Amino acid sequence: MAFDRALMQSFLDGRFQRRFGAGSCLWRFYGWEPFAVTIGYNQDISTIDGQRCRQEGIDVVRRPTGGRAVFHADEFTYSFLAETEERNALIYRMVHEMIMLALQELGIRSEFCRSTPGESRSKGSPVTCFTASARYELQVNGRKLVGSAQRRSRNILLQHGSLPLTGKHKDIARLVASPDESEDRAIRVEMERKTVSLQELLGYIPPYGMLAELMRQASFLQSGIGMTMLDYGDLEALLQTAAAPSTS
């Protein structure tokens, strides 16, 4: 999450555009080691059982975006950054359309969730992200597969999200600070009913490299523009450069 914040700042101060050109956007794909619970920007951290997380070596991190808690374990995580004046909802749909194209190559026919962000907040657990669905997030047979969140600062938009590889994300039920075990069980039942993972759909776990390549191919199918592949060192070097001079 800190790396996404730093990358967003590189867009805001012009370093990214100066290095890669105006109009360039950034996709980043990554996983988690150690596992972590992230909470939304405005979420109360006391809703998570910090002691249990510490005992199990699970980090607890606040996201720069909104939404509810997510347990990042066995998952394929993406972030997307762009300088754009397009409406947030349009970018939200575009990003998920690209992920939908990638999933099709695995034989998965996903569809958009129909609820709006305002509706989703009134349904499901008030703590966990995957038990609520926002419009344009992806589901398969009514069960949420991809959850995302956004943050905009001026004309810079950050969107990131989670694609669970296994059902490990459902363990958020035992990491929530709850008064009794019955609430934990209720959240677990809700997670089982409303969410799904790639392993459950496919019977196997696609390799990380395969998923990254499918995303690259989907980007070209969607936009006709090829991705320039960067590695972690390229992004670190970018963040170490001086910010562009202010024009104000």
Phi, psi of 228, rounded to the nearest 5 degrees: -95, 115
Selecting among 25, 53, 113, 129, the annotated active-site residue is 129
The strand pair at 70-72 and 75-83 is best described as unpaired
Q: Give me the torsion for CA of 147, 152, 158, 162, rounded to 10°.
A: -10
| Residue 25 bears catalytic tag | no
* SS3 annotation, 130-177: CCCCCCCCEEECCEEEEEEEEEEECCEEEEEEEEECCHHHHHHHHCEC
Residue 79 · residue 5 · CB < 8 Å: no
Taking phi over 0 as left and psi of -120 to 50 as alpha, with beta for the rest, 50 belongs to alpha
By annotation, the residues acting in catalysis are: 129
